[in-house]
Amino acid sequence: MAKRTTRSRRPGTVRALLARHSGPDAAFGRRLVLAVTATAAVAVPFALALVLVESRWPPLYRLDRTTAERLHRTALEHPAWVRVLDFFTGVVWDPVTMRLLVAALVVWLLTRRAWRLATWAGVTATSGALIGFLVKNVVERARPHLPEPVAHAPGFSFPSGHAMTAMTSCAVLLLVLLPLVPRAWRALPWALAAAAVLGVGYTRVALGVHWVSDVVGGWLLGIAVVTATTLAFEAWRADTGRPRTTVSEGLEPEISSAGDPEAPSRPTAPSAL
């Protein structure tokens, strides 16, 4: 009798194990592993850049020096061009300007009752600023020292705060506002964001306040921060039964519709077929 009882319980035990490995806990575990893996993958390039900078890798060192010296000669020969660069880097693409744009976006999202999207935008911008500041003070890389400098900037050099802020801010603005832009016009915000990110990087090197590797490091670290927070937001969407989105659709396409953008997703009725 004992043997029969043991055998009769085995199918139930197997079903329980299968249910345990396919339930909400397993789904959360899979999303957690995916988020950690994706975040680590995008953080690897920044970590590599940091190692190369700290070790003063000769090819990177030569690239930094030759680019800085060449652009510095151009700046000395064209004072009017320096004023243009200074206006864009100090006003149009200044970190304060970028953060004010994100702050305005957060306020608008709050008026739309998009609480979680507003939180995501605020957390992404704030964490990016804090992480960039911490990394700067840990690395303590000196800024370029060039003869007859055309611009000055306080603090340490790696990573570029301007480049990182431009990357995180433009990513936040794009991922939130893309659903409001007609598909035929979506190439325009992408072009504006690319111009801002690349333009910031160029101005910082051309003005002699950053190395090329500082700018690239800022971009890479900004991408890593946005990826981590975006994966957390996607996990919330999955928990509420919402479909996955793509970068071209924006982070929450429902923001373009009337009503509460965070209302629970209604399950679709089963087909009669």
Q: Which residues are catalytic?
A: 162, 210
* Angstrom distance (rounded) from CA 81 to CA 74: 9
* Angstrom distance (rounded) from CA 208 to CA 221: 21
Residue with the two structure tokens 């957060």: 106
Asked whether 93 and 199 are in contact (CB, 8 A), the reply is yes
* Angstrom distance (rounded) from CA 153 to CA 213: 17
- Quote the strand ranges of the chain, DSSP E: none
Phi, psi of 252 (to 5 degrees): -140, 90
Continuous H helices in 143-211: 161-177, 187-206
29 dihedral zone (left: phi>0; alpha: psi -120 to 50; beta)? alpha
Indicate the DSSP class of residue 260: -
